[in-house]
Amino acid sequence: MKFGVVVFPGTWSDKDCLHVLGPVLGQEAVPIWHQDTDLQGCDCIVLPGGFSYGDYLRAGAIARFAPVMGAIKGFADRGGLVLGICNGFQILLEAGMLPGALLRNQSLEFRCVWTHLRVENTDTPFTRLCRPGQVLRIPISHGEGNYFGDDETLDRLEATNSVLVRYCDAQGNPTPDANPNGSRRNIAGVINEGRNVAAMMPHPERCAEAILGGEDGRLIFGSMIASLAERQPAASH
């Protein structure tokens, strides 16, 4: 499968994503510059973490107007798989491709720590290798990851099974203490109702090799690879 990893000025996790998708998982992985509008025939697009455009105005607010975003919107509208990680999550929210917003962490601190995540929906291209309710261990690294939506938005997310992962303790309980940033209802990641655009604040690309202290990130990328392999015969590009 061919993965495109989008690079904005200020992106910092692009190399990590390319490393995991390429050498670690054996996929073709190419960088895509923010000014490009050609997605190079990629089967999946990853918007990685960082500080695109210095987070000026609001995180992701400027990046969403980059030329590449029009192409990604079209790709997603045609059913293409898009995963946003951290700053990529912020960009997808600003672009209106996922509901809600990300606020400053409640602690006002930049948090760079391991978190536990409970998988809320395994019937998605991003989590299909996980067991229902499985607890993953994936690190976060952000200052603005405090997920916010009004009650109506959150109720709709829950009613449509669109919460992907929730911060929890090691046993899988979504407690206030396990919530590292104040996210409403401990939401750490969401997916759209079309089930092809997903995003999460934690960084699966930082825990896909045992030497880095964990490999749970492989479940996310592995799920995407498995889903794409299934789709491939039907794909028409």
Partner 1 sequence: MSETVTSEIVGQLQRWQARVEVTLKPVVLDPQGDAVLHGLHQLGFDAVSRVRVGKYLELTLAAASQNDAETLVRQMCDRLLANPVIESYTFSVEPGNPPTA
**Which residues bind to partner 1, rule: CB under 8 A?**
57-58, 61, 65, 93-94, 99-101, 103-108, 146, 148-150, 182
Tokens of 160: 């449509």
Shorter beta-carbon distance to partner 1: residue 149 or 214? 149
Task: Name the H helices within the chain.
Answer: 14-19, 67-77, 87-94, 151-159, 217-231
**How many other CB atoms are there within 10 angstroms of residue 231's CB atom?**
16
Query: Residue 108 class from Cβ within 10 Å (0-12 exposed, 13-18 middle, 19+ buried)?
Result: exposed
What's the closest the beta carbon of residue 224 comes to partner 1, in angstroms?
27
Distance, in Å, from the CA atom of 108 to the CA atom of 124, rounded to the nearest integer, reads 33
Q: In this structure, is the dihedral angle defined by the CA atoms of residues 58, 153, 49 and 74, taken in order, positive or negative? A: negative
Active-site choice (86, 130, 168, 207):
86
What's the closest the beta carbon of residue 141 comes to partner 1, in angstroms?
19
Phi, psi dihedral angles at 152 (to 5 degrees): -65, -45
Shorter beta-carbon distance to partner 1: residue 106 or 171? 106
86 is catalytic: yes
Shorter beta-carbon distance to partner 1: residue 57 or 229? 57
203 is catalytic: yes
Cβ atoms of 127 and 163 within 8 Å: the answer is no
Shorter beta-carbon distance to partner 1: residue 40 or 107? 107
Would you give the DSSP letter of residue 58?
A: S
What's the closest the beta carbon of residue 91 comes to partner 1, in angstroms?
12
What's the closest the beta carbon of residue 102 comes to partner 1, in angstroms?
9
205 is catalytic: yes
Annotated catalytic residues are 86, 203, 205
